[in-house]
């Protein structure tokens, strides 16, 4: 038997506000960003920013910039900045620049310089 969606549920889903920030073609490997975003997923926004500021990783400035941009988008949508939390954060792999490193006996090995796509979604609790 198919599940029937009530009108109240539809209205409730439409009322939830979200703020999104997408940063694409970041010149840092997704593996480095994922290590950091796994630590802040689901946290309140001020607490997540404090964690990132005190983490000495190469991805810290990139993720912090995305969070600040998402926070600005939330304020623009008239969301309450005191109750914002990270509803969803993900890092996808972008294209890779291919380079060659010369080795002995005329050989070469490939080097992949990877790009990332970072998506941050903020919601209200």
Contacts of 44 (CB under 8 A, 6+ apart): 83, 84, 85, 125
Rounded Cα distance between 107 and 109, Å, is: 7
Q: Collect the ranges in the chain with pLDDT lower than 70.
A: 1-15
For residue 78, how many C-alpha atoms fall within 13 Å in the half-sphere facing its CB? 1
pLDDT of the residue at 46 = 95
Q: Nearest Cα to 120, choosing from 11, 6, 18, 4? A: 18
Taking the domains of the chain in order of start, what are their residue ranges? 18-124
Query: pLDDT by residue (tens digit) across 81-113?
Result: 899 999 999 999 999 999 999 999 999 999 999
pTM score: 0.83
CB 124 within 8 A of CB 79: yes
pLDDT of the residue at 95 = 97
pLDDT of the residue at 12 = 55
pLDDT of the residue at 16 = 78
Q: What would the CATH number be for the domain defined by 18-124? A: 3.90.470.10
């Amino acid at each position: 038997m198919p599940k029937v969606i009530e009108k109240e549920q539809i209205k409730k889903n439409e009322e939830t506000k979200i703020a999104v920030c997408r940063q694409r073609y970041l010149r840092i490997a997704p593996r480095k960003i994922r290590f950091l975003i796994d630590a802040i997923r689901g946290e309140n926004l001020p607490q997540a920013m404090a964690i990132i500021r005190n983490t000495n990783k190469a991805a810290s400035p990139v993720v912090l910039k995305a969070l600040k941009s998402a926070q600005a988008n939330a304020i623009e949508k008239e969301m309450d900045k005191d109750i914002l939390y990270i509803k969803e954060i993900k890092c996808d792999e972008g294209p890779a620049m291919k380079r060659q490193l010369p080795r002995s006996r005329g050989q070469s090995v490939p080097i992949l310089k990877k790009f990332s796509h970072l998506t941050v979604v903020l919601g209200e609790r």
